[in-house]
Structure 1
């Protein structure tokens, strides 16, 4: 880590440690409010709505702690069970759901120890650096005071200046140690918070079931949409061509004896219609599962796709084998959708695709130097990529600031088979 980055990292840890002190103090009134709301629970029109309001505040505080923990590479998943149907705010059903959720009590159990750990680690992070800064400024302070009082006939003792000279390197050393220790102290605080705020094994299984239910529904919807697209393409394309072909042949049979020239013309039109129908069928089959994907794998298919793009696209692939067919297909169409969005909307002059596989994870990065500003909420393309990857427990991350560049990172867990002798890299 470079010195500048290390300093920035340490300063951020100190500032977040400073923030942890008032946040830790905030835990205490939240705990008191929850206990009061719990005691007032039997009181009509008071306890039920008050408990719900307090729990909204407690969960917001716990969610903030989870976001802060993520900054130190300590991810904490939200463990809350989904609200049941008809659980309106302020209602008895929502009240029972909140109190029956084990995550509620884990949040409440964290408030007091979380306050103590936040304050302690925050004070340590801030205190070490503050003590080092005090040592650094001691020398100029002694010199300033000595110069100021000298004009009044008061001579500053020489040993005080000596103490200032000695305190400077000590203060610099302590400050450096404090900046180095602050991220570790905040990491320990995040690890402690995860003991309470992370989901239990049962909650993880419940969340996993919910996630699988959603992804299954998305997969079913995607398959239904794909079938509708195929039916529409067949009806509007190849089927219409074949009907036209049959009509042309029928007319040719009727006029072949009395007007051979017209019959030949009709047969020529029929041949042209059959050729067009074959082309449309090939495109349709290619849209279901491209032959190049089956023959050359994800690497070759993406390179072939890049060759037909209007924007020069570099493909850098280091895949030592092939994934399962459904995974390859999902990755290919996700890359195709990302590149199609780039071609239509980005105004880019160049693009790139990087594919890697490590630790059981296929990672594909699609980027361009366009205008940026891509937003999944403003179109269906990026949302479609997310749904397609979610079926295989994959994720999509988008970085697209105004002015670019746009980088789409897609990850899917998978294993590779049929290892190649050497990886390839080149330009498509």
Structure 2
């Protein structure tokens, strides 16, 4: 829903009416992203710091809109919205389906007995039609199977979704700046030491007053 609102507001921003809608959508998206950052931090047991958004100037709506559109974090949030609409169904949706199927198949004889004859008679298509409660007991073993799948995959799927959130909404990975890593240390400046030059092979004059053997360029 937020992704649709964001796309719609950006599309009509040139008409003027989309500017306040875009600003509102940005506030909602960032609030929604912060909620998911907090959930991912609780799920993974480690903080997911928010990406630093560019400060919005205290100016008119067009200036604010231009600042938001130039912010890379804004587009990263939009990419996360699109990806999240897929991962949420692959993680939470799949886990929920496993649990529902497990409960339904475990209680299928009771459902068969209490429902009208027009429903729950072909659980696997027309090729597998049930004609009695006794036949419906054949589906009961599927209940523990789906519940076991739910139990085994629920935590893994939730952690997978949390890792996707951390990858898209967290800060970019940087190499550690510890004692074992010198990649982020400023290069140590050392005083340059003059190197002796053979004056006979260069266009220089030798000075022996202070430093014998050193050349001074003229």
What is the TM-score normalised by the length of structure 2?
A: 0.60
Determine the structure 1 residue equivalent to 2:7.
32
CA distance in 1, matches of 2:73, 2:93: 29
Cα deviation, residue 56, structure 1 = 0.8
Q: Does 1:195 align with 2:206?
A: no
Determine the structure 2 residue equivalent to 1:179.
151
- Given candidates 95, 116, 121, the residue that maps to 2:65 is 95
Cα deviation, residue 117, structure 1 = 1.5
- Given candidates 52, 57, 60, the residue that maps to 2:31 is 60
Determine the structure 2 residue equivalent to 1:71.
42
- Given candidates 68, 89, 96, the residue that maps to 1:119 is 89
Determine the structure 1 residue equivalent to 2:53.
81
Unaligned runs of 5+ in 2: 116-129, 178-218
Q: Is the 8 A contact 1:34 1:55 kept in 2?
A: no
Q: Quick check: which one's helix share is greater?
A: 1
Give the secondary structure class of the aligned counterpart of 1:71: helix
CA distance in 2, matches of 1:106, 1:31: 13
Q: Is the 8 A contact 1:135 1:171 kept in 2?
A: yes
Cα deviation, residue 141, structure 1 = 3.2
CA distance in 1, matches of 2:135, 2:159: 36
Q: Is the 8 A contact 2:9 2:18 kept in 1?
A: no
Q: RMSD over aligned Cα, in angstroms?
A: 3.3
Q: Is the 8 A contact 1:31 1:111 kept in 2?
A: no
Map residues 28-427 of structure 1 onto 2, 5 A cutoff: 28-37=3-12, 39-40=13-14, 43=15, 46-73=17-44, 75-81=47-53, 83=55, 87-88=57-58, 90-142=60-112, 160-201=132-173
CA distance in 2, matches of 1:134, 1:116: 25
Cα deviation, residue 138, structure 1 = 0.8
CA distance in 1, matches of 2:36, 2:64: 24
What is the TM-score normalised by the length of structure 1?
A: 0.33
CA distance in 1, matches of 2:63, 2:101: 53
Cα deviation, residue 91, structure 1 = 4.0
**CA deviation vs aligned residue, 1:129-169 (integer Å, no higher than 9, x gap):** 11111111112234557xxxxxxxxxxxx984444334333
Unaligned runs of 5+ in 1: 1-25, 146-157, 206-428
Q: Is the 8 A contact 1:31 1:112 kept in 2?
A: no
Q: Is the 8 A contact 1:28 1:111 kept in 2?
A: yes
- The structure with higher relative contact order (CA 8 Å, sep 6+) is 2
CA distance in 1, matches of 2:11, 2:75: 15
Q: Quick check: which one's strand share is greater?
A: 1
Tell me how many residue pairs correspond in the alignment: 162
